[in-house]
């Protein structure tokens, strides 16, 4: 009987010990499972949040890009002058960005050809910086800094020679504005009668932007 009781006690003790260990293992597995679930859920939230931010940023970039180009206008001018032995052809494309309803800034390019029969012919190319101010819708004030390269070939009898130089002009102007068209005049405050590309410091202009 004593041996039987000892065997029963031993089995009971072993069963209790085994059950405790199984409970510990089960609790550990549950903790691990909860940890994995929580981490997975956390990773999913981070991914969703990141995708949401990226989508918002892309929308902002698209909106900002659209807003930028909505404020850009293209235009410029064409010039053609033909007289007795004289030719003047010019192409002046430009673009402006409307900062607001009053101020606009932009850049321009200039290409031209001038010639006078039996005297000279010139090729002109360069660029300009443009600033426009509209204090009221009908009035436009302007400042244009122009830098062009002039390549001239003179054709005087017995004295053919060439001259290449940079010409800088700073035009201050004012004009009447209606819709996309501005008509007015501008004055080159850096005008030099000996070096200037133009024959006069004052020049009328027609400015068109779409």
In tens, the pLDDT along 46-70 reads: 544 454 455 455 544 445 567 888 8
Top-level class of domain 74-209:
mainly beta
For the chain, which residues make up each domain, given as ranges? 1-70, 74-209
Contact between 208 and 183 under an 8 Å Cβ cutoff? The reply is no
In tens, the pLDDT along 140-170 reads: 999 999 999 999 888 876 667 888 989 999 9
pTM for this structure? 0.64
Burial class of residue 76 in the structure, from the number of CB atoms within 10 Å of its CB (0-12 exposed, 13-18 middle, 19+ buried): middle
Long-range Cβ contacts of 96-101 (<8 Å, 24+ apart) = 96/72, 96/130, 96/132, 96/209, 97/68, 97/71, 97/72, 98/71, 98/72, 98/73, 99/71, 101/134
Average pLDDT score, the chain: 75
In tens, the pLDDT along 86-136 reads: 788 888 999 999 999 999 999 999 999 988 887 888 899 999 999 999 999
């Amino acid at each position: 009987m004593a041996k039987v009781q000892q065997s029963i006690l031993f089995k009971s003790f072993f069963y209790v010990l085994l059950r405790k260990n199984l409970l510990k293992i089960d609790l550990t597995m549950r903790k691990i499972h909860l940890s994995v679930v929580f981490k997975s859920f956390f990773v999913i939230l981070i991914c969703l949040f990141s995708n949401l931010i990226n989508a918002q940023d892309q929308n902002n970039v698209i909106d900002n890009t659209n807003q930028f180009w909505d404020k850009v206008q293209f235009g410029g001018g064409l010039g053609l002058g033909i007289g007795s032995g004289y030719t003047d052809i010019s192409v002046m494309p430009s673009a402006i960005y409307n900062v607001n309803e009053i101020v606009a800034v932009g850049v321009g390019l200039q290409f031209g050809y001038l010639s006078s029969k039996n005297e000279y012919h010139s090729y002109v190319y360069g660029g300009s910086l443009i600033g426009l101010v509209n204090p009221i819708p009908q009035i436009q004030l302007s400042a244009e800094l122009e830098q062009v390269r002039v390549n001239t070939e003179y054709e005087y009898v017995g004295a053919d020679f060439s001259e290449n130089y940079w010409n800088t002009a700073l035009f201050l102007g004012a004009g009447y504005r209606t819709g996309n068209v501005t008509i007015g005049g501008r004055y080159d405050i850096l005008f030099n009668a000996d070096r200037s590309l133009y024959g006069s410091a004052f020049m009328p202009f027609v400015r068109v932007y779409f």
